């Protein structure tokens, strides 16, 4: 399961002095993050202090501030209630990352980030809490990698998506985990990093699709890894993809179990190769690597067809040792059947 934490500053309405562009950017960002609440493959968290800090800084509730902003800037495209409800839903329905990850608090001073981060949020108290969250997530990422490796922090107007470097003197850590290894002793200089982004595209780019495939414990997680690989391929080809329009290949009954068994017994480099071959299959790329699976080994033998629906059997090179076997179905869907060694020409129906 992938996960993100959202800094409370993302939910704070723009100031009264903000221009139309800043207001549009705020609304677009909120509506962009709304989709996370409906995605089954990702969990969303906030700091346990988020609600209190927003109220303390006079940034919540949102409705009156948004009404004034929309009216003074002549914005009629967005409904105040719709926008406010997104922030309210995030605050009410998302648990705190401290509770979920069982890492409660840290005293770290001084703290430096590269690029500079703490000025991007709203108010001194919220900046202090953002610094606390950054250090906690960096410790989790470095010392409990299974929990925090692919976790991203969403920050308003962050300078760039990717990694932000952390340097802090740790004086005290409060946690309830028994799987943190090599946690810093106090006082100790800690150097770490956190994945950071400000938009949905940046979040997707932060996720390592090969790591997502390896860590996925169910079919949904595997499908997300493939969709991520297709999405990034489209970005690399400058196709400006939309996540909701990225196709996912259909998995045959035993495909995931077979693929996991082969990949676990092979070097780590096989998973990226497998994902690349699935991307090429979905996007109809590198067609010279595709071959028909025939009824027998004769070159003129007819292509094998599935008895139940007439789907046609194909195989694609993954590397010199392994191949991907799949069915081209009459409805246009590609159904992945198996992966196996070069001399295996079988395909499950």
Residues 6+ apart with CB under 8 A from 219: 251, 256
User: How many Cα atoms within 13 Å fall on the side-chain side of residue 275?
Assistant: 23
Task: With a cut of 80, say whether residue 147 has pLDDT above it.
Answer: no
pLDDT > 80? residue 196: yes
pLDDT tens for 52-79 read 999 988 888 889 999 999 999 999 999 9
Least confident of 153-157, 187-191, 295-299: 295-299
What average pLDDT does range 190-208 have in this prediction?
Answer: 91
Reduce the DSSP state of residue 209 to 3 states and report it.
Answer: helix
Cis status, amide bond into 61, omega within 30 of 0: yes
Helix (H) or strand (E) run with residue 66 in it: helix 63-72
pLDDT over 90 at 230, yes or no: yes
User: Residues 123-131: what's their mean pLDDT?
Assistant: 89
How big is the CA angle at 87 (ends 119 and 97), to the nearest 5 degrees?
70
Where does the chain show beta strands of DSSP type E? 2-6, 42-46, 103-114, 152-154, 162-175, 188-197, 250-251, 290-292, 312-317, 322-328, 334-341
Contact (CB, 8 A) for 186 and 108: no
Q: What is the mean pLDDT of the chain?
A: 90
| pLDDT per residue as tens digits for the range 32-50 | 888 888 888 888 999 999 9
What is the DSSP annotation of 290-323? EEEPBSSSSTTPPBPB-TTT-PEEEEEESSSSEE
pLDDT of residue 179: 84
CA distance 203 to 162: 9
Question: Residue 124: is its pLDDT beyond 90?
Answer: no
> Percent of the chain having pLDDT more than 90?
59
Instruction: Return the pLDDT at 301.
Output: 87
Count of alpha carbons within 13 angstroms of residue 273, beta-carbon side: 18
Distances (CA, A) of 207 to 36, 104, 139, 248, 253: 14, 25, 18, 17, 27
- Residue 148 confidence (pLDDT) above 90: no
pLDDT at 213: 94
pLDDT at residue 217 tops 80? yes
pLDDT value for 232? 96
pLDDT at 60: 86
Of the pLDDT bands very low, low, confident and very high (cuts 50, 70, 90), residue 348 is: very high
pLDDT at 329: 94
- What are the backbone dihedrals phi and psi of residue 43, each rounded to the nearest 5 degrees, phi first? -110, 140
Average pLDDT over residues 96-100: 91
Q: How far apart are CA 96 and CA 102, in angstroms?
A: 10
Answer whether residue 100 shows pLDDT above 80: yes
Q: Which domains does the chain have, with CATH numbers?
A: 2-203 (no CATH), 231-341 (3.30.2310.20)
């Amino acid at each position: 399961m992938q996960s993100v934490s959202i800094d409370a500053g993302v939910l704070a309405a723009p100031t009264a002095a903000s221009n139309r562009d800043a207001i549009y950017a705020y609304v677009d960002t909120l509506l962009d993050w709304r989709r996370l609440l409906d995605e089954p493959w990702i969990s969303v968290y906030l700091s346990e202090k988020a609600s209190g800090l927003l109220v303390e800084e006079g940034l919540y509730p949102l409705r009156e501030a948004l009404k004034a902003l929309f009216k003074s800037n002549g914005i009629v495209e967005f409904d105040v209630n719709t926008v406010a409800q997104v922030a309210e839903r995030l605050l009410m329905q998302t648990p705190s990352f401290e509770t979920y990850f069982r890492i409660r608090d840290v005293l770290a001073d001084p703290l430096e980030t590269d690029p500079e981060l703490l000025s991007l949020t709203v108010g001194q108290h919220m900046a202090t809490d953002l610094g606390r969250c950054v250090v906690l997530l960096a410790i989790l990422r470095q010392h409990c990698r299974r929990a925090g490796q692919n976790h991203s922090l969403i920050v308003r107007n962050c300078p760039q998506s990717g990694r932000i470097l952390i340097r802090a003197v740790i004086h005290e850590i409060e946690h309830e985990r028994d799987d943190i290894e090599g946690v810093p002793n106090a006082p100790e200089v800690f150097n770490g990093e956190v994945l950071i982004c400000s938009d949905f595209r940046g979040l997707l780019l932060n996720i390592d699709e090969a790591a997502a495939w390896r860590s996925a414990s169910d079919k949904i997680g595997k499908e997300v890894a493939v969709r991520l690989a297709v999405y990034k391929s489209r970005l690399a080809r400058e196709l400006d993809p939309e996540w909701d329009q990225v196709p996912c290949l259909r998995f045959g009954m035993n495909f995931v179990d077979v693929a996991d068994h082969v990949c676990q017994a092979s070097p780590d480099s096989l998973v990226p190769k497998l994902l690349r071959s699935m991307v090429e299959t979905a996007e109809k790329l590198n067609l010279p690597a595709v071959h028909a699976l025939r009824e027998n080994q004769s070159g003129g033998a007819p292509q094998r067809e599935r008895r139940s629906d007439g789907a046609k059997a194909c195989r694609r090179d993954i590397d010199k040792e392994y191949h991907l076997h799949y069915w081209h179905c009459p409805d246009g869907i590609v159904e992945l059947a198996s992966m196996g060694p070069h001399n295996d020409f079988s395909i499950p129906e």
